[in-house]
A = this chain, B = another copy of it.
Amino acid sequence: MSKKEKPKNLIDGRKISRQVKEEVKEKIEELKKLHGKSPGLAVIIVGDRPDSRTYVNMKKKACAFVGIESFERKLEVDVTQEELLKVVREYNENPEINGILVQLPLPKHIDEEEVLSQISLTKDVDGFSPYNIGKCAMKGRDPLFFPCTPYGCIQLLKRSNVEISGKEAVIIGRSNIVGLPVSFLLLKENATITICHSRTKDIASTVKRADIIIAAVGIPKFVKAEWVKEGAVIIDVGINSVEDKTRKSGRRLVGDVDFENVKEKASLITPVPGGVGPMTVAMLMVNTLRGFERTLESEQKEKEKEEEK
């Protein structure tokens, strides 16, 4: 079996993310015609980690494609917390900016939680604030923004016509940025959810009962074919760099799922790379557009109030 052969049961994240971005682009063009303005996304980057730079560039490229104005503030690695907070506050006040991202991780001397908590809730397009996560979990409540990666997972399922309601979803990993919020979004879609983690006693048999598996544990090829029920749908959130002497770079990216073996049992499966990865940036574009639409709506309401006077 050649590794190059593309399995038929692949969920193509690149293709779906392109669709999403094209929809965003179209909507933004429409709104620009109507209101004469475009959404803005600001990124604050501290220091010069090459991985952070790569992510920020991906985000800027996506912004350029969909028609979102990019703002960027590069701060030195020894910036003080107060200086960083000043930039956050400035962006909070700037009406041209609908979304604010602080590129993580931050240097150790900065209180990350405190900085993130200072981003205005209406501009927190990452959607990681406790307030937003609470609303992701709560019945009958909607968050201001669905966190990007979990939101991307749900879009991959929906746009591949996977029925979620009533299905058994098993989520491996309980991180604040993927495992937990993706569980809540699946619950909102009426899945029966099981969250397992490092303390789970029999992970193989827990995963075995899943109709939908979300692997978000950060361990290369963690999920084995024997754990997977025939016909399950698998979303692999892992992005792990492993040694590969056949590559020029000496490394390659693999997911949390033993893809080569698991794909034989799955009815649908995301590859790594090219699965969940491209969706995160696409959903960030969706969230920034959402923030922009909400701003337009409240401006509209203000205007109507003024006219009533």
- A residues apposed to B, CB below 8 Å: 129-141, 165-168, 174-176, 180, 184, 187, 190, 192-197, 199-201, 206
Contact = CB atoms under 8 A, between A and B. Distances in A.
Given A138-B133, A138-B176, A139-B180, A199 B195 contact: no
24 contacts: A130-B130, A130-B131, A130-B132, A130-B135, A130-B141, A132-B134, A133-B137, A134-B136, A138-B180, A139-B174, A139-B176, A139-B180, A140-B176, A165-B199, A166-B199, A166-B200, A168-B201, A174-B187, A187-B195, A190-B197, A192-B197, A192-B199, A192-B200, A193-B195
Nearest to A133: B134
Given A130-B134, A131-B134, A192-B200, 6 more contacts: A130-B138, A133-B134, A134-B134, A139-B175, A139-B176, A166-B201
A187 B193 CA distance: 13
A139 B128 CA distance: 12
Contacts of A174: 139, 187
Nearest to A138: B176
A3 B42 CA distance: 67
A180 B130 contact: no
A158 to B, nearest CB: 16
Nearest to A211: B201
Given A130-B131, A130-B138, A194 B197 contact: no
A200 B168 CA distance: 8
A136 B200 CA distance: 20
A137 B143 CA distance: 15
A170 to B, nearest CB: 9
A174 B166 CA distance: 14
